Structures are given as structure tokens and as C-alpha cells.
Amino acid sequence: MESTALLQKLTAGMAFRGNPATLLSSSSASSHFARVQASAWPIMQGSRLRRLNVEATDLNANAFGTMPHSSTGLKIITKAVAVKTERGSTATAQQGHELLLFEALREGLDEEMERDPTVCVIGEDVGHYGGSYKVTKGMAEKYGDLRLLDTPIAENSFTGMAIGAAMSGLRPIVEGMNMGFLLLAFNQIANNCGMLHYTSGGQFTIPIVIRGPGGVGRQLGAEHSQRLESYFQSVPGLQMVACSTPYNAKGLMKAAIRSENPVILFEHVLLYNLKERIPDEEYVLCLEEAELVRPGEDITILTYSRMRHHVLQAVKTLVSKGYDPEVIDIRSLKPFDLFTIGNSVKKTHKVLIVEECMRTGGIGASLRAAIMENFFDELDAPIGCLSSQDVPTPYAGPLEDLTVVQPPQIVFAVEQLCKH
């Protein structure tokens, strides 16, 4: 399809930031939609969620047939009943303490560094600056410069250095200031980190944690909006986990540090300011387990990281429409928790994967293949997969919104799949 024609079609129904009512003056029904939209989507703590009106030419929608125009198709209920979303096993309402996700990461890190003197953090601006996302703020004063090591801008070598240190007994945590910068260290991660346990016949373990924020942010540009989970998933020997809430961020951080395997912990730039109440007691989560966010009967929605929150937004709409989706945050990107996923598929018989990776070769692609191979007989419908577009993330706000999966698309996809 002609790119300009596509663009025209896309922009025809698009909401521009800051002034939703200005657009869509051509269609009276859509301006009603725009007004309704503004109030229907709640503001997520620490991040403004822009809503989006997507035309039929949306590539994801092609998988499910043409998406109807908003004025005729989507019926938005302004006062959706708030569904009590179970977030795994969180603390009870009264006990525990409230904090933001980056603070939860810091808490986990702090506890582990206190517990084990061989744990150290290596990265750019982690020490004196306190971390570019404040994850290590205040820790250099507590633990010293050697354990919170400020490195020069040399990802390849400081990742290699961390791997060398891990080989001889330390437990380093490498922070990529942005996950995308770790592409410079791809050789070290793929060849040395992932393989040394194997090629040395089991002599060396690499108990390293590689973490950092990734994902599409707020107009950060193409090179700072990378999703590396798709690139690293083929490297044998690595484990990958993605956190999405303060509760699982702290638990996964601790588990990753304690693991003897190299673990890549994917955080998301936009989730650092999520607030949640987490237990006071110490807890460590399992690296290979998925999290049942919301039990349901109609369809299994598999998601991770930021898309979990988009899914939960969509679930509010779906529930008000009478659907009962089961939402699972897969958390473990490699290996998949096919046990939890399989049990869910056996119950609902329909699967929708919502991810932020690119469509080509992403986590969804592998997960689809794994589910198909293992649970084909349980499926009543083809596995749906909503992923980001295979494009470099554009800078312009509306275009950026179009690259990532938005809640209306999720609602539409669920409706289509549930027709089976």
C-alpha cells in the first residue's frame, strides 16, 4: 500500500496531542468519541496515556479484518465498572509500604548488596549520579565507589569486564543506561556471557545480571526506543525476565541476583513511576514463573512489561462489554512458563498475545510457535498476536503511538477472537 495514502488514512482519524477536540471536525460522531475518550481512560500514575483513534488500515487490525470506524464500531462506556484486578499475590491493603517501581528495584538491590558482599553494580552514572533513572540513588554513599562502579562510556568493555569478574567469583549487575546501548556489548553478551558455561564444560558460571530500561518511551527517538528481548532470545544460556509492577520488579531483581545463570532483566522507561504497595517482609519471586493477573474464562491474554497495563486498560472495557478475559503476565521471556500458560489455554481455548516487541522475530512469534506446538488441540481459534510495527520508532508523537499496541486494538482483537 502506498505509504502516503496510508499516512493520509491514518492521520485522518488521529488525535493530536494536547488538543483532542481540534481534529475530527469532519466527523461529528468522532468528536463525540473524542470527548468521551478523554474521560474514559484514566490517567496512569506518572504517565499520561494518550488515546488514539486508529483507522482501518492499521496493520494489526488487518489480522482480524477491517477495524470499524470509531463512530460506528467501538462503543465506549464512560463509567466502566472498575474491575478488581488481582496482581498475583500482593500484600494486604493495610500492611506493607507504598513505593514507586524504581524504588522497589533499589530496595531489592540494596537488600542483596547488603546480604552478599560480592554483589556490585557496574554501569554509567550509577554511582555518584545515582543512576539515570535513580535506581541506584544513594547507594554509592552507602557501599562505596568500588561496588557502585561508574564506568566510562564503553559498553562493550565494561560488559566484558563484568563477565570476567563474574567468572572469577563476583556477582556483578550491569546497568545499561538504556537497553539499546547494550547492542554495543552484543558480542560479549552472546558469545561470552551466554556460552562460557557451556564451552568450558561447566567450569565457569556467570552469575551476572544485565538490566536496564528499554521499550518505547515518550518520543525518545528510534535509537532510544529499542526492545532487545527479540534479539537476545536466541542466545543459548541466557535467561530473560521482564518486570511490570513494583512487586515483581523487586522480586525479580532479587531472584536474578541470586541466580547462578546470566539473567537479563528488562525494565521499561515508562514504568519507573508506577506506585504500588508491597510487603514489608522479604520475598523473592521465581524467575521462570508467569503471573496470573486476572482469572477469566473467555480468552487468555498473554503479555509482559508495559503492555500489561495497556491490556488492563482494555480489560476494563471488555468487562463492561461482557467479556471475561484471563490476563497472564508472562514475566519470564526465556524460558516461557508453559505450565501456567498451558493451563490457561486449556481453560479458555483462545489466546491473544500482546507485546511491545517488533512483529518479526519477537517474543510473540516464539510464544505463538511454542503454544501451537504444545497445545494445538486445545485451541479453538488461531493465536492472535498484537505487536509493535516493524518500523524504527518515529519521533512524532502520534506516529509513535501508532507503532505500539493501544487498548482499543486489544479490545477489537479480543472481540474478533471470541467470535470463534
> Which residues are tagged catalytic?
155, 224
Query: Which of these segments, 60-68, 75-83, 198-206, 399-407, binds other proteins (CB under 8 A)?
Result: 198-206
| 338 contributes a contact to other proteins by CB under 8 A | yes
Candidate ranges 63-71, 74-82, 128-136, 145-153; the one touching other proteins (CB under 8 A): 145-153
Q: How many CA atoms lie within 13 A of 39 on its CB side?
A: 10
Q: Which of 255, 249, 221, 295 is nearest to 100 (CA)?
A: 249
Chain centroid offset of residue 168 CA = 33
| Count, residues near other proteins per rule CB under 8 A | 54
- List the one residue from 120, 270, 315, 413 that touches other proteins (CB under 8 A): 120
| Closer Cβ to other proteins, 158 or 412, answer by number | 158
- Sheet of 209-214, strands arranged across: 148-150, 119-123, 171-175, 209-214, 263-268, 239-242, 332-334
- From residue 340 to residue 379, the character string flagging contacts with other proteins as x (rule: CB under 8 A) and all else as - is --------------------------xx-xx--xx-----
Binding string, 202-241, against other proteins, x = CB under 8 A? xxxx---------------------------x--xx-x--
Smallest distance from other proteins to CB 60, Å: 23
- Output the smallest distance, CB 190 to other proteins, in A: 10
Sketch the per residue contact string, 48 through 67, with other proteins: x for CB under 8 A, - otherwise. Answer: --------------------
* DSSP character string of 210-274: EEEEES--SS--GGGS--THHHHTTSTT-EEEE--SHHHHHHHHHHHHH-SS-EEEEEEGGGTT-
Q: Which of 41, 102, 133, 158 binds other proteins (CB under 8 A)?
A: 158
Comparing CB distances to other proteins, the nearer of 135 and 170 is 170
**Contact between residue 53 and residue 13 where contact means Cβ atoms under 8 Å apart:** yes
Structure-block grid coordinates of residue 35: 470527548
How would you classify the pairing of strands 291-294 and 299-303?
A: unpaired
129 binds other proteins (CB under 8 A): no
Among 260, 297, 380, 390, binds other proteins (CB under 8 A): 260
Supply the DSSP symbol for 43: P
Q: Which helix (H) or strand (E) holds 204?
A: none
Q: Is residue 168 near other proteins by the rule CB under 8 A? A: yes
3-state DSSP assignment of residue 355: strand
288: cell is 521462570
Q: Is 383 strand, coil or helix?
A: coil
The reply on whether position 201 binds other proteins by CB under 8 A is yes
Residue (335 or 392) nearer to other proteins, CB: 335
How far, CA to CA in Å, does 378 sit from each of 270, 342, 362?
36, 9, 23
**331 near other proteins, judged by CB under 8 A:** no
Name the nearest CA neighbour of 30 among 50, 46, 52.
52
Integer Cα distance of 180 and 158 in angstroms? 15
Whichever of 40 and 119 has its CB closer to other proteins, that residue is 119
Binding flag, residue 396, other proteins (CB under 8 A):
no
Residue 284 or 370: the one with the smaller Cβ distance to other proteins is 370
Per CB under 8 A, 170 contacts other proteins? yes
Q: Which is nearer to other proteins, 89 or 187 (CB)?
A: 187
What are 69's three cell numbers? 470506524
Q: Does 264 bind other proteins (CB under 8 A)?
A: no
Q: How far is CA 88 from CA 15, 205, 294, 330, in A?
A: 35, 32, 8, 12
| Closer to other proteins by Cβ: residue 279 or 361 | 361
Which x/- pattern over 21-50 shows residues binding other proteins (rule: CB under 8 A)? ------------------------------
Which residues would be at the binding site for other proteins (CB under 8 A)?
A: 118, 120, 146, 151-152, 154, 156-170, 187-188, 191-192, 196-205, 233, 236-237, 239, 260-261, 288, 334-339, 366-367, 369-370, 373-374
